[in-house]
Amino acid sequence: MTRVAYLDVPATARWAARRGPERVIADLTDALERDFRRWPELETRPRLASHSRDGVIELMPAADATTFGFKLVNGHPLNPSRGYQTVTAVGMLADVHHGYPSFLAEMTILTALRTAATSALAARYLAPRGARTLALIGCGAQAEFQALGMRAELGIEHLRVFDVDPGAVAKLERNAKTLGFQVTVCTDAGDAARGADVVTTCTADKRNATVLLDADVVAGQHLNAIGGDCPGKTELEPATVRRASVFVEHEPQTRVEGEIQNQPADFPVTELWRVVVGEAPGRISTDELTIFDSVGFGVEDFTALRFVHDDLLREGQAPDELLQWLDLIAEPDDPKDLFSLVDGA
């Protein structure tokens, strides 16, 4: 009998807590860098998205020569007002050689970890030297993970935070202080950005919004724009994008979903993997304004799924107690006699 390893939400939380979330993000950042270095070897494609009035449901695939993976994820900005999470996700790995699934996992927590790791990887190449202050514009579910990722990568010590929801600000302030950050609560997004070396925008509203005014963005900053992740949804003023060096994950997807969706089709951008392999420069001067226009991409989920799977099933060790095992594969004694399973039941 072929069984599928399964990681549920409580087990993912225990795994992250046991390893330490900051350490997980740091190790995931390195794992992402390894996969970005082999980007041309990977099967990459824009995600399949189904949009509705209330949000979006997306399928995000990626593969290499031995493993196929995908994530099923939603994004529904009004969900918190209805008692639901804005973003939830599940993911799966399958063996390319026979097509059988091998791993099923929750990916709501994993997505937060991999998004923070992707931001940290971009900051490795794009953030100004000596960055110690991070502005977090949007204090929702991603915020603590983003802070930990930037501390692991850059040594961030001070957070300047703003959200239109005072409850979200209070939540982040409480958690961040417990994690050892200095926290300044700001009056608006511009106030948060002023004095910050790195600015992360992570808001949920599904519309073309100006979360951060161009007048509040200064030369030398690195903007980590991760909230504009579907058509019709942006966070930055077009003028800010036009005067920056812009880096993206997968250009065909970002042209439709990212901050650059409101720019001309020939607006110049650089895919981050090209910087990682040395084909293109990252930050080239102290006064350069850089933007990582991140919309999330299937390779990042592929990396995260394989990372946690391999961590829990290390070669030569007994399966981790956090894993469960599911009988998801129909395997009759005669591969051509599927009916026998129903008849015998």
Confidence of residue 60 (pLDDT cuts 50, 70, 90): very high
Task: Using the predicted structure, report yes or no on whether residue 80 has a pLDDT greater than 80.
Answer: yes
Q: Is 343 a catalytic residue?
A: no
- What pLDDT is attached to residue 296? 94
| pLDDT value of position 77 | 85
Burial string for 238-252 (b: 16+ CB within 10 Å, else e) reads bebbeebbbbbbbee
pLDDT band, residue 205 (cuts 50/70/90)? low
Nearest to 256, CA basis, from 56, 17, 112: 56
Please report which confidence band the pLDDT of residue 315 belongs to, taking 50, 70 and 90 as the band edges. Answer: low
DSSP per position, 262-331: GS-TT---EEHHHHHTTSS-S--STT--EEEE----HHHHHHHHHHHHHHHT-TTSPPPTT-EEE--S--
Give the tens place of pLDDT for each residue, 40-52. Answer: 999 999 999 998 9
| 65 has pLDDT over 90 | yes
Give me the pLDDT at residue 207, please: 66
Using the predicted structure, report yes or no on whether residue 254 has a pLDDT greater than 90. Answer: yes
Range with lowest mean pLDDT among 155-164, 230-239, 305-314: 230-239
Query: Catalytic residue among 35, 216, 229, 293, which?
Result: 229
Inform me whether the pLDDT recorded for 119 exceeds 70.
Answer: yes
Q: How confident is the model at residue 320 (pLDDT cuts 50, 70, 90)?
A: confident
pLDDT at res. 300: 98
Q: How high is the pLDDT of residue 316?
A: 67
Which residues touch 303 (CB under 8 Å, ≥6 apart)? 28, 31, 32, 35, 114
**9-22 average pLDDT score:** 97
pLDDT confidence of residue 227: 85
Higher pLDDT, residue 305 or 345 = 305
> Which pTM was predicted?
0.95
Residue 211: pLDDT above 70? yes
Average pLDDT over residues 116-134: 98
Q: What is the pLDDT of residue 15?
A: 96
Token pair of 179 as six digits: 């994690």
